[in-house]
Structure 1
Amino acid sequence: MQVTYWAEHAWLDTNVEPGVALEVTDGRITAVRKEAEAPPPGAVVLRGLTVPGLANAHSHAFHRALRGTVQVGSGTFWTWREVMYQVASRLTPETYFSLARAVYAEMALAGITAVGEFHYLHHAPGGVAYSDPNAMGEALIAAAADAGIRITLLDTAYLSSGFGKAPNKHQLRFSDGTAEAWAERVSALKSSDHALIGAAIHSVRAVPAAQLSTVAQWAEARRAPLHVHLSEQTAENDACRAAHGCTPTRLLADHGVLGPRTTGVHNTHLTNEDIALLGSSVTGTCMCPTTERDLADGIGPAATLQREGSPLSLGSDSHAVIDLLEEARAMELNERLRTRTRGHWTAAALLRAATEDGHAALGWHDAGRLEPGALADLTTVALDSVRTAGPVPRLAAETAVFAATAADVRHTVVAGRHVVRDGVHTLIPDVARALAESIAALRS
């Protein structure tokens, strides 16, 4: 398939250029030409600012069903978790497919072209395996295909409820018993054009120290991405010190988990030594600011981590909102609150975290750039909405990052195919209804 897209404005590397033609053949960009005068004959016109597709590097799709319901009363991450367990207990492969399909369609509407699904809901209630042991993971892969986006299924090892503790009744669905059994099950999953298979360690409290290396070696052998929730809560740090005499970051380092294909999610409560370990190993950091503030987790040292060598990516995590532009500016605005100074990242740097570096964290190394050879995954943000109208075009990137929202996404293109056109999903026309029905099915 061949198609030419003409972007009214396009973000090329670090600059906004007017009138850019993007030639696409078989799902990849084959040429990038600056044609500011007018669209070439037959080109599909993209009005607004076109950037590489956004990468949502950390998602728990079923958490979308919690939106709104967990905003009543007070509490902590740990009280929120009990509500989350109740939703997880009701999911089947069929209902999970329906929910995830709608959630991934919502992501497409927000300009997200690839998602990293941190997937630990593996088995039936009580921990009994389905006839297809990967039925839940396959449901997520199929849901992403139906919604028209790419997925990296980060199949997650989750074996214990805490240091030296067996899984609780809710967590039996998550556990394979041992890391070896986890590896055997995950090895049956296969990548495809729209799906990659990666690995995850839920956290140091959920995988015994002696089994961390099994997960890391599985990922290393396949050169697959490896993600891990890291120091999201101070309670995790305290429990790790009590059990092992070190921080979670040091424990991961000592068992071979850190490295360039590894991403720590949150990385909130770190020591200076932790930051040095992550930076020197080029372990990535996925910040999820909307969830971190929603759960009252805290503000992580993102700027310091990046300076020390840890690449930054972004995720919507619990989907309190699904808006990568909000995640990008929230990282900067959180740092402003923490330091009482402005300008820690440029708009271009924040866009890079939301695009190229996010895709790299998910193993899509040929995505996240508007250049020949890259996957033809594009997002166009309107520059004429009530939020974005006014600034001069050369500041379009700043406008998009610091003023636009997911509601301003006009076009989403994946592999050269128009998935969202003029703000409407072309494969699932009524995404709101799909969300409402799939969430209602979990409450009936």
Structure 2
Amino acid sequence: MPNRILLDEARLEAGWARSVGVTIENGAITEVVPRAPQDYGPRMGGRAIPGMPNLHSHLFQRAMAGLAETRGPASDSFWTWREVMYGFLARLSPEDVEAIAAQAMMEMLEGGFTALCEFQYLHHAPDGSAYANPAEMAERIAAAAAETGVGLTLLPVFYAHGGFGPVPAAEGQRRFVSDRDSYARLLEASADALIGLPDSRLGVAPHSLRAATGEEISHLLALRPQGPVHIHVAEQVAEVEACLAWCGARPVQHLLDTQPVDRRWCLIHATQMEASETEALSRSGAVAGLCPITEANLGDGFFDAMSFAGPWGVGSDSNVEITAPGELRMLEYGQRLLHRARNVLARGEGSSTGASLYEAALAGGAQASGRALGRIAPGARADLVWLETGSELDDYVFVRGARAIRRVMVGGRVVVEQGRHQARDRIAARFRAVMERLRG
């Protein structure tokens, strides 16, 4: 049966509107009526905005947040952080992954993210052997999504090599590695894992140019001719240097020259681009997947968003901190530092920077998700976030952050009330038990 609600205020595509009637059927919005009569449906106070898609995450890394913040004897970098990650994940069981995923998803919902693109590359047992069910870990992710209510785009990762050339995978990567045949089985089993999860999507994700050859990437595209394609690219200077040594081209330029990059693609990070690559990526229609908090944490560098004319969105990546407004704030502040200017990503003179950031990330995140998200409009998923009465998007992004969130709805179902997830106690207790064992 359709569900009708009356919003005090809502951020529609034309701007703020009062007394907005919304009809929801099977999790999607079927009608939006500005200035609706007061008897349209139950009144829901506050200011409703579309929920933000999180276009890039590694859920299991939520459990290692803070573990790599001690300086080692050598110069710390992404590469030393990666060694810490390899050592940590060796101890994770499927049950651990489900508990960690539920905790991270719950925090995403409380932090303003209502949908998730999970870049899932932890596939195998600690010794590298395959589970009897190729999608054992994917099923755990799907179970956590069902428990928390977050919308899911699952991106099983193809990871075959340890570097350009290609070179063999390292010992720490054994839980990730697939060949073409085992990946095809993983993809098929992952599709089965999503059955019953409302409005879920399945895509493909070559991990990076150093982990998948061009021929292998073409094979993945043939396996899944429709739907999202996500890839890490040009995150680190050392990666760029290795790519140049291997093929004579920089990563983003090589990818654009050798693959049919278009609107279904999402290039994650791309923090190391020259101006010509930025311009070429803008023309491709692909989404730039930005993870500003993680990129700052890892010392990746700045994405030059001021020069980029294509779609972009934000993700929580390593989940060291999970907050939709926080990612947007970090992005804008990074651009201010890079360009020594203020309000860099506002659409133009007189435009709200918070609104410009939020609306751009909604559009890019929806495109990267392959789902109808990011709008309070007919046909869109009924994913809404309610802010305190009087909160503007500038206040939400730059001042109050997630503290301004009062209620979150996903697919027409309220999952957060008064800033607290309905299953917080149960999920948090299970997560604490896992952490006590892992860090004990």
TM-score (norm: length of structure 2)? 0.91
**AA in 1 matched with 2:82:** R
**AA in 1 matched with 2:393:** A
Q: Quick one: structure 1 residues 105 and 300, their matched pair in 2 at CA, closer, same or farther if it must change by over 3 Å?
A: same
Q: Deviations over 1:143-170 (max 9, x none)?
A: 1111111111111111111122211111
Equivalent residues of 1:382, 1:410 under 8 A apart: yes
Distance in structure 2 (CA, Å) of the matches to 1:87 and 1:376: 37
Corresponding residue for 2:282?
279
Corresponding residue for 2:400?
404
Point out where structure 1 has 5 or more consecutive residues left out of the alignment. Answer: 384-392
Corresponding residue for 1:288?
291
Q: Deviations over 1:386-424 (max 9, x none)?
A: xxxxxxx4x712222222222322111111111112222
**AA in 1 matched with 2:373:** A
Note the C-alpha offset of 1:251.
2.3
**AA in 1 matched with 2:107:** E
Equivalent residues of 1:126, 1:169 under 8 A apart: no
* SS at structure 2 position matched to 1:399: helix
TM-score (norm: length of structure 1)? 0.90
Alignment partner of 2:251 out of 245, 248, 253:
248
Q: Quick one: structure 1 residues 321 and 131, their matched pair in 2 at CA, closer, same or farther if it must change by over 3 Å?
A: same
Point out where structure 2 has 5 or more consecutive residues left out of the alignment. Answer: 347-352
Corresponding residue for 2:349?
none
Note the C-alpha offset of 1:9.
2.2
Distance in structure 1 (CA, Å) of the matches to 2:15 and 2:335: 24
Does residue 437 (structure 1) correspond to residue 433 (structure 2)? The answer is: yes
Corresponding residue for 2:350?
none
Corresponding residue for 1:127?
128
Distance in structure 2 (CA, Å) of the matches to 1:189 and 1:205: 24
Does residue 416 (structure 1) correspond to residue 412 (structure 2)? The answer is: yes
Corresponding residue for 2:218?
213
Distance in structure 2 (CA, Å) of the matches to 1:93 and 1:435: 13
Note the C-alpha offset of 1:367.
1.7
Distance in structure 1 (CA, Å) of the matches to 2:86 and 2:144: 22
Distance in structure 2 (CA, Å) of the matches to 1:212 and 1:26: 36
**AA in 1 matched with 2:114:** T
Note the C-alpha offset of 1:128.
0.8
Distance in structure 1 (CA, Å) of the matches to 2:385 and 2:10: 10
Distance in structure 2 (CA, Å) of the matches to 1:235 and 1:426: 44
User: How many residues are matched?
Assistant: 425
Q: How does 1:41-440 map to 2 (within 5 A)?
A: 42-47=41-46, 49-73=47-71, 75-163=76-164, 164-176=166-178, 178-190=179-191, 191-192=194-195, 193-219=198-224, 221=225, 223-305=226-308, 307=309, 310-343=310-343, 344-345=345-346, 346-364=353-371, 366-383=372-389, 393=390, 396-440=392-436
**AA in 2 matched with 1:62:** F
Distance in structure 1 (CA, Å) of the matches to 2:41 and 2:14: 28
Which stretches of structure 1, 4 residues or longer, exceed 6 Å deviation after superposition? none
Q: Deviations over 1:9-55 (max 9, x none)?
A: 2111151223322222221222222338x8537514132x2111111
Distance in structure 1 (CA, Å) of the matches to 2:210 and 2:102: 31
Equivalent residues of 2:6, 2:40 under 8 A apart: no
Distance in structure 2 (CA, Å) of the matches to 1:250 and 1:424: 44
Distance in structure 2 (CA, Å) of the matches to 1:403 and 1:5: 29
**AA in 2 matched with 1:268:** T
Which deviates the most, 16-25 or 240-249?
Answer: 16-25
Equivalent residues of 1:70, 1:80 under 8 A apart: yes
Q: Quick one: structure 1 residues 421 and 5, their matched pair in 2 at CA, closer, same or farther if it must change by over 3 Å?
A: farther
Equivalent residues of 1:180, 1:214 under 8 A apart: no
Equivalent residues of 2:134, 2:185 under 8 A apart: no
Distance in structure 2 (CA, Å) of the matches to 1:432 and 1:188: 29
Equivalent residues of 1:11, 1:397 under 8 A apart: no
